[in-house]
Structure 1
Amino acid sequence: MNYNIRRMIFLIIALIWAIVIFAFSAKPGDESENQSIKVGMTVCNIFVPGFDNLQEYEQVDMAKKIDYPVRKTAHATEYAILAGCVLGAVTPGFIRWKNGLTAICTAVIYAATDEIHQLFVSGRSGRITDVLIDGCGAVAGTLIILLISRIIVMCGKKEN
């Protein structure tokens, strides 16, 4: 695929994903909490044997107990995806460390602006720890893509 077309596709996906992140952050605190509790209920339903047999209030209590890790995992995942899309937009072919650094920095800067945005949303707050978690997600996403690309290159060399 032509580099410019691929770059444009990744750039559009990155922009759409940034809008998705913005939309999640624009939800008031109680709506965001309810959404993450629903995700927690789904996670418990999948991983906790007998979860369906619990009373509804017990299910909600269990979902609330894992709310914090669910939210922080979501933060990291959002920014891993964003960094991956930015990496695709700035990489001409073989991924270099500078491209990875650009993707990580872009994601962290966006994370910081997102936390500032949350200061203006009812029931939400901006936290530096969330920027750090988002940054860790961006680093993890970038490293995973770098690792996969190296494996693909190494497999290609073995075939030749």
Structure 2
Amino acid sequence: MQRKIYFVLMLLWMGVIFGFSAQPAAESTQTSLRVGRLVCGIFVKDYEEMSAAEQTALAENIEFPIRKAAHASEYALLGILVFGVVRKKEMTKRQMLCAILVTAFYAASDELHQFFVPGRSCQLRDVLIDTAGGVAGVGIQYILLKHFRKMEGIE
């Protein structure tokens, strides 16, 4: 039953990623800038006292790292979900590799999809960032499951 839940969540998350990738460049940039302004408002001292032009410039400066962090985070969650689908009771390196490969394949297909979206492009760098996020997600889930199983005396 747990694998079915992971499977449904994986498909839903793939749909969310597809939706983000289907955004034209201008819309995607505006989303990133909104997040940038939010981050600046939380972490930058006196951000609210800055002029609108200064706030915009600061948000634009962090837009690129925010976009790449979002890529990695999206695919970290996808890696966790795919690993939940392929994982059996006994976790193996083969299952981890399978989850990473599925995540990498989806990242590559997602970049190809972006090639056909107005103003977007297909970049190997993004596939690598997405795949690194997937590796991190699979690794984190593996470590956490090992830890909790050890605590429960299962392993």
The TM-score, its normalising length taken from structure 2, stands at 0.96
The reply to whether residue 150 of structure 1 matches residue 130 of structure 2 is no
Q: Distance in 2 between matches of 1:63 and 1:147?
A: 35
1:120 aligns with one of 111, 116, 121:
116
Which residue of the partner structure matches residue 56 of structure 1? 52
Q: Distance in 2 between matches of 1:47 and 1:95?
A: 39
Q: Runs of 4 or more off by more than 3 Å in structure 1?
A: none
Which residue of the partner structure matches residue 67 of structure 1? 63
1:10 aligns with one of 1, 6, 12:
6
The size of the alignment, in residue pairs, is: 155
Consecutive unaligned residues of structure 1, counting only runs of 5 or more, are none
> For structure 1, which segment, 27-36 or 88-97, has the greater mean C-alpha deviation from structure 2 after superposition?
88-97
The reply to whether residue 86 of structure 1 matches residue 91 of structure 2 is no
List per-residue Cα deviations over 1:14-65 (Å, max 9, x = no partner): 0000000000000000000000000011111111111111111111110100
The reply to whether residue 105 of structure 1 matches residue 101 of structure 2 is yes
Give the letter aligned to residue 116 of structure 2.
F
The percent identity for this pair of structures is: 41
Q: Distance in 1 between matches of 2:147 and 2:43?
A: 31
> For structure 1, which segment, 25-34 or 54-63, has the greater mean C-alpha deviation from structure 2 after superposition?
54-63
Q: Distance in 1 between matches of 2:142 and 2:72?
A: 17
The reply to whether residue 22 of structure 1 matches residue 18 of structure 2 is yes
Deviation at 1:74, TM superposition (A): 0.3
The TM-score, its normalising length taken from structure 1, stands at 0.93
Q: Distance in 2 between matches of 1:117 and 1:136?
A: 19
Give the letter aligned to residue 73 of structure 2.
T
Q: Distance in 2 between matches of 1:58 and 1:93?
A: 53
Task: Indicate the RMSD between aligned Cα atoms, in angstroms.
Answer: 1.4
